[in-house]
């Protein structure tokens, strides 16, 4: 009798835990993130346009096209390859909500691995979402994870063997979009997603693809551009110009030829596009971080990471000022705008020029929220959801 | 309040509640859950249902591997397959002690290597191997020590080494290149243990020992034992040879296929439901531990306690870390069981990686030392299980004493692998 009562008690407690946590997981998976389209957005498509198999899946994301007033080259920004690196998504958001292309064409993706935006890392204690304050209140964004949601792709293989190189990778990385390039049409959801993007890049004749990321300070590839050999000249000019003119250090690294599945390697190898990957510092990802909170995520302040830095264990400096999200997003917007400018210098006949997007100094001065548009005041038909 | 003080307070609360729960004789997994819940509240996050549920899911895949692999082993045992193998080996080699000891070592290594759990080795093969060893005249205390040590090594052996898998996952490192760095030391230490403790012994009545071994059912043969393994290995080979033409099955389904093959081939009728039920009952403490370790790690990460431990570890003098590995690892295992891997293993691997050591070989070396903690209180689950299964009735202290020489060997091998991991990097094949 006593044992039965105890079992009943545990079952009820388990049920309550299931319902309460389940509601939280459901809400974050279905949280709608508004996008108030800039006047410069001329077309919004679905990724499935380029690969119908992706239709109806979590990864059939929106593709925002900003057609320039004058013709030119085409540049594509991939935000949300790793949603837990929010500066990438937010920088892309500023382009979709503010950008106006004067010359050339811009394709913006806010949730490249949309499935990964709908889950947080088990064991990582991530907050489900975060709020960027704005003059009109603030906007909530899903935090997400590095890997596609297991609800959308499971089980993982015993070992992940990259297509087509045959390179062995961790089984988890079969759900990592930045280990699945160039993808394949009959693969997993994440591989199909990479394949769909590559189809888009080919069909839209994209000239430059920029994949936006952030990295822990204990990771050697940080505060840098990683470039395919096709983009070495462009990336070198961007790196030097940013360091000289904008006041922040931007390194330059070359995509290793034998490291497969990454966008900077495979997009360059399997399309005509130049592929670049930008990394900004994100102390939230460091294993030595202190409390795992949205405050830490957005301010980038962390005593423990600073201590690790004092012992020479980091590849990027950090002090009590941390790495605020405005700084990280500003690095990305400036780096993208500088890429357009440097491209145009080399290819004046096919220019790229974007207006109305804040650069590094302006983002830091005014904050990202200043450039997020109020969905309540969006024009009819010009507010979409991610 | 600065972060260090805050995290120290939360850590203090967690330790207090863990110790209190243990004093009340609650199980390790419940004690860990209570410590995690108390830490969550003390950290100002209240009783966060989301974090507790999410943490509980951390090792879901590993739990599924655990269940299906153990089901496979249990079906093999119930069908009389294990008895057939042990009896066959004993009958053929009972007068060739060296060969028999080598075969017994391999037999003990297989269940844990496939499942990642030393307890499965003890439960599946421990009893029968101890009968053989006693038949060879090995004293009971040494027999128990052999079963415990080799079972621990089997848990560290590839393909499934939970310590290595959990630590690798914690630092975003692929679980690739671990096969030889884990296999070689496990084999060497296993054989040394078997020969050091099992070589001497006045031969007892071999015929009587043979009689004591369970008799396999009529119709059992080598083919029926090997085929399920062929199915399992076949699925792995097919998946690796034609990865892009094969449906992703995952390890749990592969083990399930092997289990069903063994079930179908069994010469005697078995109650699958009953074996499944027994498997879950047998694994419940371990599944509970893994689930609660996930919750504990999630709350430690949430409150910065994991960060505190990590930053403290990575900023320690390196010589001190090397010199104390043989204490830190078994003690952390004794307190946290597999929780030791994400809590202590992750910062250590970060440190070794930063120092330019080979993280795969270093982690393999650490994985050899960790199992020793399974004989130590407060948990000592596998140590006590071994004592029960082998029928040793002397003092637990004497049992620990018998484990000392192989334990020192494992500590030396493990520590040397960490220190010289860079030079041993070729073992990874990467």
DSSP code per residue over A312-327: T--SS---TT---HHH
Q: Is B78 among the domain residues? A: yes
Rounded mean pLDDT of B355-373? 95
Rounded mean pLDDT, A198-205: 98
User: What ipTM was reported for this prediction?
Assistant: 0.95
* Chain B residues touching residue A304 (CB < 8 angstroms): 3-4, 304, 307-308, 310-311
What pLDDT is recorded for position B402? 96
Give residue-wise pLDDT tens across range A222-246.
999 999 999 999 999 999 999 999 9
A63 pLDDT exceeds 90? yes
Interface contact flag, A123 B342, Cβ < 8 Å = yes
Q: What is the mean pLDDT of residues B325-352?
A: 85
- Rounded average pLDDT over B377-382: 74
How much is the pLDDT for B309? 87
Contact at CB, B250 and A155, closer than 8 angstroms: yes
pLDDT at A379 (0 to 100): 93
Mean pLDDT of all residues in A103-132 = 97
Give percent of chain A with pLDDT exceeding 70: 100
B171: nearest CB among A156, A287, A302: A287
Q: Where are the alpha helices (DSSP H) in chain A?
A: 2-29, 86-98, 114-117, 189-203, 232-241, 263-270, 294-299, 303-310, 325-346, 360-366
Q: Which of B307, B342, B348 should we substitute to test contact with A (largest number of A Cβ atoms within 10 Å)?
A: B307
Alpha-carbon distance of B325 to B323, in angstroms, equals 6
Reported as a pLDDT band with limits 50, 70 and 90, residue A281 is very high
- What's the pLDDT tens digit per position in B293-311? 889 989 999 999 989 988 9
Residue B279, pLDDT above cutoff 80: yes
Is B386 within the bounds of a domain? yes
* In chain A, domain spans: 35-119+130-147+177-385
Q: Kindly state whether B240 is in contact with chain A, defined as any CB-CB distance less than 8 angstroms.
A: yes
Q: Determine the CATH number of domain A35-119+130-147+177-385.
A: 3.40.630
Confidence of residue A267 (pLDDT cuts 50, 70, 90): very high
- Residue A383 confidence (pLDDT): 97
pLDDT at residue B411, as a whole number: 97
Q: What is the pTM of this model?
A: 0.88
Whether B252 contacts chain A with CB within 8 A: yes
Mean pLDDT, residues B229-236 taken together: 89
pLDDT category of residue B59 using cuts at 50, 70 and 90 = confident
Tens-place pLDDT, residues B262-277: 999 999 999 999 999 9
> How far is Cα B145 from Cα B135, in angstroms, rounded to an integer?
16
Sign, Cα dihedral of A172, A175, A180, A183: positive
- Res. B188 pLDDT band, cuts 50 70 90: very high
Confidence of residue A330 (pLDDT cuts 50, 70, 90): very high
Express each pLDDT in A44-56 by its tens digit: 999 999 999 999 9
Placement of tokens 């792995």 in the chain: B236
Subunit contact A313:B342, Cβ cutoff 8 A:
no
Question: In this structure, how many other beta carbons lie within 10 angstroms of the beta carbon of residue A320?
Answer: 8
Which chain B residues have a beta carbon less than 8 Å from that of A120? 54
With beta carbons under 8 A apart, name residues in chain B contacting A155. Answer: 61, 248-250, 252-253
B-chain CB neighbours of A82 within 8 Å are none
With bands split at pLDDT 50, 70 and 90, how would you rate the model's confidence at B204?
low
B258 found inside a domain: no
Mean pLDDT: which of A32-41, B27-36, B335-344 is highest? A32-41
Nearest 5 degrees, angle CA B305-CA B310-CA B314? 155
CA A164 to chain B, closest CA, distance in angstroms equals 9
Query: Which structural domain range is residue B42 located in?
Result: 3-220+267-428
Mean local confidence (pLDDT), A155-165: 89
Encoded tokens for A47: 């990724």
Kindly state the average pLDDT of the residues B215-243: 91
The confidence band for B203, taking pLDDT boundaries of 50, 70 and 90, is: low
Asked whether residue B232 is assigned to any structural domain, the reply reads: no
Q: What is the pLDDT of residue A61?
A: 98
Nearest CB among A122, A307, A313 relative to B54 is that of: A122
Interface of B with A in 129-148 (CB under 8 A): none
A304, B311: Cβ pair inside 8 Å?
Answer: yes
Per-residue pLDDT band for B379 (boundaries 50, 70, 90) equals low
CA distance A301 to B137: 65
B53 touches chain A (CB under 8 A): yes
| Domains contained in chain B, number | 1
Please give, rounded to a whole number of angstroms, the shortest distance from the CA of A187 to a CA of chain B. 7
- Region of poorest pLDDT, from A83-97, A362-376, B302-316: B302-316
């Amino acid at each position: 009798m006593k044992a039965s009562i105890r079992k009943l008690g545990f079952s009820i407690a388990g049920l309550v835990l299931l319902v309460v946590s389940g509601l939280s997981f459901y809400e974050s998976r279905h949280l709608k993130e508004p996008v108030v389209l800039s006047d410069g957005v001329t077309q919004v498509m679905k990724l499935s346009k380029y690969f119908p198999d992706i239709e109806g899946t979590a990864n059939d994301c929106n593709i925002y096209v900003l057609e320039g007033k004058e013709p030119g080259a085409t540049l594509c920004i991939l935000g949300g390859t790793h949603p837990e690196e929010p500066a990438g998504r937010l920088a892309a958001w500023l382009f979709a909500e503010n950008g106006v292309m004067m010359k050339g064409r811009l394709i913006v993706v806010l949730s490249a691995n949309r499935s990964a935006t709908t889950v947080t890392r088990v064991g990582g204690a991530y907050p489900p979402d975060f709020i960027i304050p704005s003059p009109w209140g603030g906007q909530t964004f899903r935090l997400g994870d590095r890997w596609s949601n297991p609800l959308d792709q499971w089980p993982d293989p015993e070992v992940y063997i990259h297509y087509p190189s045959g390179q062995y990778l961790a089984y988890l990385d079969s759900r990592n979009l930045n280990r699945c390039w160039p993808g394949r049409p009959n693969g997993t959801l994440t591989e199909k997603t990479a394949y769909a993007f590559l189809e888009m890049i080919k069909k839209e004749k994209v000239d430059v693809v920029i994949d936006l990321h952030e990295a822990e300070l204990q990771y050697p590839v940080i505060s840098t551009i990683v470039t395919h050999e096709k983009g070495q000249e462009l990336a070198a000019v961007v790196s030097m110009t940013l360091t000289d003119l904008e006041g922040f250090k931007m390194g330059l690294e070359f995509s290793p030829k034998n490291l497969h599945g990454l966008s900077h390697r495979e997009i360059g190898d399997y399309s005509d596009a130049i592929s670049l990957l930008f990394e900004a510092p994100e102390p939230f990802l460091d294993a030595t971080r202190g409390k795992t909170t949205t405050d830490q995520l957005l301010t980038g302040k962390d005593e423990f990471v600073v201590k690790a830095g004092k012992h020479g264990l980091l590849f990027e400096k950090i002090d009590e000022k941390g790495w605020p999200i405005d700084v990280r997003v500003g690095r990305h917007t400036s780096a993208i705008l500088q890429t357009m400018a440097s491209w145009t210098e080399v290819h004046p006949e096919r220019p790229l020029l974007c207006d109305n997007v804040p650069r590094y100094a302006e983002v830091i001065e005014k904050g990202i929220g200043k450039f997020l548009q109020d969905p309540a005041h969006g024009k009819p038909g010009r507010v979409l959801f991610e | 309040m600065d972060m260090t003080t805050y995290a120290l307070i939360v850590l203090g609360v967690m330790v207090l509640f863990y110790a209190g729960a243990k004093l009340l004789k609650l199980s390790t997994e419940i004690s860990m859950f209570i410590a995690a819940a108390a830490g969550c509240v003390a950290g100002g996050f209240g009783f966060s249902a989301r974090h507790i549920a999410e943490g509980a899911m951390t090792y879901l895949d590993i739990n599924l591997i655990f269940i299906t692999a153990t089901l496979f082993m249990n079906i093999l045992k119930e069908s009389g397959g294990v008895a057939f193998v042990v009896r066959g080996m004993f009958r053929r080699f009972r007068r060739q002690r060296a060969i028999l000891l080598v075969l017994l070592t391999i037999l003990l290594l297989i269940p844990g290597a496939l499942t990642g759990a030393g307890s499965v080795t003890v439960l599946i093969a421990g009893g029968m191997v101890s009968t053989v060893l006693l038949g060879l005249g090995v004293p009971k205390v040494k027999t128990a020590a052999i079963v415990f040590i080799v079972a621990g090594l089997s848990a560290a052996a590839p393909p499934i080494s939970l310590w290595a898998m959990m630590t690798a996952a914690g630092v975003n490192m692929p679980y690739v290149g671990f096969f030889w760095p884990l296999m070689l030391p496990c084999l060497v230490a296993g054989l040394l243990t078997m020969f050091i403790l099992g070589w001497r012994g006045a031969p007892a009545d071999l015929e009587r020992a043979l009689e004591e071994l369970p008799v396999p059912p009529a119709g059992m043969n080598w083919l029926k034992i090997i085929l399920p393994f062929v199915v399992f290995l076949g699925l792995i080979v097919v998946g690796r040879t034609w990865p892009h033409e094969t449906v992703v099955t995952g390890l749990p389904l592969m083990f399930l296929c092997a289990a069903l093959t063994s079930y179908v081939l069994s010469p005697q009728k078995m109650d699958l439901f009953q074996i499944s039920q027994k498997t879950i009952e047998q694994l419940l403490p371990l599944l509970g531990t893994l689930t609660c370790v996930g919750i504990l790690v999630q709350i430690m990460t949430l409150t910065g306690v994991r960060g505190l431990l990590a930053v403290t570890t990575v900023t320690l003098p390196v010589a001190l870390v090397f010199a104390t590995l043989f204490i830190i690892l078994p003690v952390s295992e004794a307190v946290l069981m597999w929780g030791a891997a994400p809590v202590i293993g992750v910062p250590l691997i970060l440190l070794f990686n930063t120092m330019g050591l080979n993280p795969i070989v270093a982690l393999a070396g650490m994985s050899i030392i960790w199992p020793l903690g399974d004989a130590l209180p407060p948990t000592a689950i596998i140590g006590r299980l071994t004592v029960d299964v082998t029928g040793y009735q002397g003092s637990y202290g004497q049992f620990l004493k018998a484990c000392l020489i192989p334990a020192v060997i494992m500590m030396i091998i493990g520590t040397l692998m960490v220190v010289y991991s860079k030079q041993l990097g070729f073992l990874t094949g990467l």
